[in-house]
């Protein structure tokens, strides 16, 4: 699958780059990301490097996933991660959506806006029929009413079409 960039609602969603590794490593030290997602613990610099290079490139190339870096379009700052995990291109045409927001970017609607953009792209461009949210795979240590399940609920209700464009050739880091 060809990687794409999505600009919507004040966010730029683009394929991961090798230069994102430091910010991803910093963000993934966050206890909430470690608790609610499947990132390795402890999260080491080599995990971040592999994620933004080999892992994400392989997902786009094989069509098995669509991982986006969520950035501030004006400054380029990394705000979070959002994307499709394990795209099922059989008759089910479904995928799970996964996301985190960096601790320094929380409380500004990044997760909602990014999830909404990915959801719209999935339905309109990929023509998926269903998006799944797996929820926390690790046991939550917070009351259920504070669980992050409000984000996908709102994210699945798109209002405006995104502007989707192909990135310039060679935007993804070479990994082989």
Interface contacts to ligand COA, rule CB under 6 A: 32-33, 36-37, 99-101, 106-112, 135-136, 146-148, 150-151
CB 98 within 8 A of CB 83: yes
Query: Using an 8 Å Cβ cutoff, are 43 and 27 in contact?
Result: no
Q: In the complex, what is the shortest distance from the CB of residue 167 to ligand COA, in angstroms, rounded to a whole number?
A: 24
| Nearer of residues 27 and 87 to ligand COA, judged by Cβ | 27
- Comparing CB distances to ligand COA, the nearer of 1 and 9 is 9
∠ Cα 153 133 49 (to 5°): 115
- If the CB atoms of residues 146 and 168 are measured against ligand COA, the closer one turns out to be 146
Residue holding tokens 């030290």? 29
Report the residue number, 16 or 36, with the smaller CB distance to ligand COA.
Answer: 36
How many CA atoms are closer than 13 Å to the CA of 176, on its beta-carbon side? 6
Q: How far is the CB of 78 from ligand COA (least distance, A)?
A: 13
Q: β-strand 5-8 against 163-165: which pairing, if any?
A: antiparallel
């Amino acid at each position: 699958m060809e990687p794409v960039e999505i600009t919507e609602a004040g966010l730029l969603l683009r394929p991961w780059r090798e230069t994102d590794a430091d910010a991803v490593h910093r963000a993934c030290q966050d206890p909430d990301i470690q608790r609610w997602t499947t990132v390795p613990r402890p999260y080491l610099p080599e995990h971040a490097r592999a994620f933004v290079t080999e892992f994400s490139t392989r997902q786009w190339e094989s069509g098995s996933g669509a991982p986006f870096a969520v950035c501030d379009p004006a400054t380029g700052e990394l705000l979070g991660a959002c994307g499709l995990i394990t795209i099922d291109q059989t008759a089910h045409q479904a995928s799970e959506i996964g996301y985190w927001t960096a601790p320094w970017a929380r409380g500004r609607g990044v997760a909602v806006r990014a999830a909404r953009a990915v959801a719209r792209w999935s339905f309109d461009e990929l023509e998926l029929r269903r998006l799944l949210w797996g929820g926390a795979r690790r046991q939550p240590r917070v009351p259920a009413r504070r669980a992050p399940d409000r984000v996908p609920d709102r994210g699945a209700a798109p209002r405006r079409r995104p502007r989707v464009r192909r990135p310039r050739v060679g935007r993804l880091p070479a990994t082989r």
